[in-house]
Chains A and B, each alone.
Chain A
Amino acid sequence: MPTINCTEFSRQLAELVERRASIDVAQLREHSGACPQCRELWLDSLIVERAVVAWKKPAPSADLSARILAQVAAGVAPIEDGAPLGAEAAPAREIALPERTPGRPTRGRRYIGTAGLSLAALALGLVAMLLIRRPLPPAAPTQPVAGQNSVVDTTNVASTSPAKRVAAQVDARAPASAGAPVELMVADAGSAYLHLAGDAAKAVTAATVLVPSADPVADAPAAPPSDDHWVDGVREEIAPVTHQLSHAFEFLIQAVPEKRTPAT
């Protein structure tokens, strides 16, 4: 009949192994003989203890200390100078220094990076659109010759669609100098947009700083936030920028007239 139960067996075994306490193992042996689960634990302990006794401790090379001292002398200059060995700035707490591994960015940074790239692509597209829409500068900045435009336009309009023909006729009736305010407006709009794009880039950079990063050293790092959370966070960060961009879009759409057929 066993004299101890499983709880007491575990406690005594822990004392024996973890505290290296000298206790009477007769009770442990007796209980392990009657309890299969505890017997497993008992045998595991015995196997490891026996193996550890035979475990060899590796010896370093004979010249290792010389190499270490040479490297220390080279790496810590005060040894040669006679100054204190620890004179150079040492980390405040060597054992707690987290070491970051370069490589895959954190999830938040990936989202922010994607948002930044999207904004940059959008900006490039709009700038390109503005450049394409900008009319060619007039060949001669002088006053138009009466009748000349109508002759040219009539020839040109004859080979185009009715809608374009009407637009071309409207353009033809207008003096060449009338395009200048529109160009100025477009240029202003482009300049305003560029400022907005710059602000957007700054906002994205600021949002990147706010994003926390995971500690790669920690054994049990905190569970990474879900995708929805990050998407919401990024969305909130860029909401003002998006708002401004949409306003800029509306302004541009209203300000820039339909593409005109260049007069030849």
Chain B
Amino acid sequence: MTDDAALVRLCLEGNEQGARELVERFQSMVFAVCVKMLSQREDAEDVTQDVFLRVFRALRSWDPTRPLQPWILAIAANRCRTALRQRPRDAARSSVEISRIVASGAGDSRELSDELDLAVAALREDYRLCFVLFYQQELSCAEIASVLDRPEGTVKTWLHRARRELAERLRRRGVVNNADYQLHGV
């Protein structure tokens, strides 16, 4: 029996320690995805709680022969998309605009990470989810395809477009220049 399966079995038996371990093992991952998708900590924490509630309710439907992480990530991705749809249009727009104003006011002094956050927030929902899962959760394209229930080729296309849009935005913002970078430390 795999580690994931043993943990899930504990949870299904009503073991409180098992439930605690499951939450602590995956909460950082779920929360990180939620924050990058929703761009707000409060919303991300609410959605994270909702994700785990659904995880526990649906544990019996999990296939023990498959890894637990992509399954939980799939639930998280769905909840994020639902939260984005339920978010009032005006609120979302004003949030993005405020972010842009803050970003433009801070100018070049903003850290690269914050600039990347802003650029990612401006991406299309599919591209954003793809990018976050690939670069932050370090999932492979095949795993992302499984999480999003999309063909691997589609995932690669979305990833490619996300990279191009992000690079273009970072270049426009003057955060980076076309100096010669080293890729993967090579």
Contacts and interface: CB of A to CB of B under 8 A. Distances in A.
A84 B58 CA distance: 12
Interface string B115-148: 1110000000010000000011000110000010
Contacts, number: 177
B96 interface: no
Nearest to B73: A95
A221 interface: no
Contacts of B35: 58
Interface string A1-45: 000000000000010111110101100010000000000000111
B5 interface: no
A85 B19 contact: yes
A14 B57 CA distance: 39
B31 A64 contact: yes
B167 A54 contact: no
Nearest to B52: A68
Contacts of B159: 18
Given A58-B31, A58-B35, A85 B12 contact: yes
Contacts of A48: 163, 166-167, 170
Interface stretch (A74-82, A163-171, A185-193, A194-202): A74-82
Contacts of A95: 71, 74-75, 77-78, 147, 149
Interface in A45-81: 45-52, 54-61, 64-65, 67-69, 71-72, 75-76, 78-79, 81
A90 B31 contact: no
Given A55-B113, A90-B58, A68 B49 contact: yes
B45 A86 contact: no
Given A60-B27, A65-B27, A84-B14, A52 B60 contact: no
B12 to A, nearest CB: 5
B12 A84 contact: yes
A219 B148 CA distance: 11
Interface string B169-186: 011000110101111101
A51 B170 contact: yes
Contacts of B75: 94-95
Interface stretch (A96-104, A122-130, A233-241, A253-261): A96-104
Contacts of B170: 47-48, 51
A137 interface: no
B78 A97 contact: yes
Contacts of B57: 75-76, 86, 88, 90
B182 to A, nearest CB: 8
Interface in A119-164: none
A96 B28 contact: no
B12 A86 contact: yes
Interface of B: 11-14, 16, 19-20, 23-24, 27-28, 31-32, 35-36, 41, 44-45, 48-49, 52-54, 56-61, 71, 74-75, 77-78, 81-82, 85, 111-113, 115-117, 126, 135-136, 140-141, 147, 149-150, 156, 159, 163-164, 166-168, 170-171, 175-176, 178, 180-184, 186
Given A50-B176, A91-B61, 19 more contacts: A25-B186, A44-B167, A46-B181, A47-B170, A49-B181, A50-B112, A57-B136, A65-B20, A72-B19, A72-B23, A72-B52, A75-B57, A76-B53, A78-B14, A82-B14, A83-B14, A94-B78, A95-B74, A95-B78
- The 10 nearest A-B residue pairs measured at CB: A46-B181, A86-B60, A44-B167, A95-B74, A60-B31, A86-B59, A90-B58, A58-B35, A47-B167, A54-B112
